[in-house]
Amino acid sequence: MLIEFKFRNFSSFKDETSFLMTRVNSFKEHLETNVIKTDKDFDLLKSAAIYGANGSGKTNFIRAISTMSNVISNSFSDSLKKDDEKNIQNYSFKLNSETEKTATMFEVSFLIKTVIYRYGFEILNNEIKKEWLYRKLEREVCLFKRNNDKFEINQESFAEGEKYKDDVNSNVLLISHLAQNNQLNARIIFNWFSNVNVISGLYDLNYNKFTANLLLSDPTFKKWASIALKYLEITNIEAGEKEGEIITYHNKYDENNLLIDSVAFNSKIESDGTKKLIHILGPIYDTLRLGRILFIDEFDSKLHPNLSKKLVEFFHKFNKNGAQLIFSAHDSNLLDKDLFRRDQIWFVEKDQFGASSLYSLSEFDAKTVRNTSAFDKKYLANEFGAADAIALNDNLMNLLYE
């Protein structure tokens, strides 16, 4: 389960940004439905929603965790490519002369059973500048630290690092190299990231085939999805003959409105909203079933406000395996005190220098917002910031018709 995600100098985020999934202890709302109890001195949240104006950096926040995961997954294999096949990656904030030449930093803290891991690295133009891994049971212990090509290895707790450190190139993460050699601690980190999935609510190319394959491989999912889609008058759903194809069934009636048959449709002819719901059910089911972490950019796109809200409610109420959902959205109907705690709502805002910042609704004092406040109305009134819109003025009209 994710505890904290930090990053710095990534895309539109210039300064260090911290995103927390720990609950604020003084907030007592939705304790039974929205909070994951742990054996530690903190509890975690099942979900978080991120709001902000267009172009504020919401998508870049989602991309940050996706980029960190991709670097870990591909670091070793990319190092084996020929020089002319390698893509030089510079993730830095480009609107400042200092940051465009400095490294990008990523760090995650997460909980596996009773153990807390904290892992991070700094990267610049594919070169690993720093890397570190800490583990905490009762107290935090450094397993290794890296500064360019120099390693400090905890030989008692991380012998695997000592064994392989001399084989690691400057453009390869030690964790990725060790995972390729099936070393225990590295595989723990690697496997945790394999349970972090990032999808787009605008485009389903990354997960429509996943949902179709689930229909083939998991009979329980097929039954579950069929129940979820009944309100759309879809009586059944199954995978088609072609890869990634999904077939929906609708009832057919005679002239007296008596049921006479069931008609199969390729899901491609369904509405965009129906297609999105069908396709997104696979990742949601997989996340809840296996206790994974799912990031969704533009979660509410194409979905009716009531449907978006029901999906979040379902995730809160029927989440038994510590799954977590983090999404960006625009629909203010989801900013509902009956749906979210204050520490589950986050905002992204961009300053006059083009830099994005992330902050939580929990940071506002009781004079601004309480657990009984109408979050949506206050947000649209820009009382929390992050809701700026185009300025309508005479210049727009004069230039239009000059």
Handedness of CA 59, 66, 101, 107 (dihedral sign): positive
Give the distance between the most distant pair of CA atoms in the chain. Answer: 80
Q: Which residues pair with 331 in a beta bridge?
A: none
Quick count: other Cβ atoms within 10 Å of Cβ 146? 23
Looking at the chain, the whole-number percentage of residues with pLDDT higher than 90 is: 53
Q: What is the pLDDT of residue 285?
A: 93
Q: What is the pLDDT of residue 85?
A: 61
CA torsion 319→323→327→331, rounded to 10°?
0
* Top-confidence range, 47-51, 72-76, 135-139, 271-275: 47-51
Main-chain dihedrals φ then ψ at residue 25, nearest 5 degrees: -60, -30
- The pLDDT of 264-275, averaged and rounded, is 80
Contact yes or no for 297/201 (Cβ under 8 A): yes
For 34, residues 6+ apart whose C-beta sits below 8 A from its C-beta are 45, 46, 47, 316, 340, 341, 344
pLDDT in tens, 52-102: 999 999 999 999 999 999 999 887 776 666 665 667 778 999 999 999 889
Q: What is the pLDDT of residue 71?
A: 92
- The pLDDT of 315-331, averaged and rounded, is 94
Contact yes or no for 203/151 (Cβ under 8 A): no
Main-chain dihedrals φ then ψ at residue 68, nearest 5 degrees: -60, -45
Mean pLDDT (the chain, rounded): 89
Lowest mean pLDDT among 80-94, 129-143, 190-204, 330-344: 80-94
Q: What is the pLDDT of residue 399?
A: 74
Helix 184-194 / helix 58-79 crossing angle, nearest 10 deg:
140
DSSP helix/strand/coil, 324: strand
- Band (pLDDT 50/70/90 cuts) for residue 105 is very high
Lowest mean pLDDT among 38-47, 81-90, 146-155: 81-90
Structural domains for the chain: 1-195+293-402 (3.40.50), 202-290 (no CATH)
DSSP H helix total and E strand total for the chain: 11, 18
Q: What is the pLDDT of residue 373?
A: 82
Q: Which parts of 164-272 are beta strand (E)?
A: 196-200, 236-239, 246-253, 259-266
- The pLDDT of 105-123, averaged and rounded, is 96
Q: What is the pLDDT of residue 50?
A: 96
For 159, residues 6+ apart whose C-beta sits below 8 A from its C-beta are none
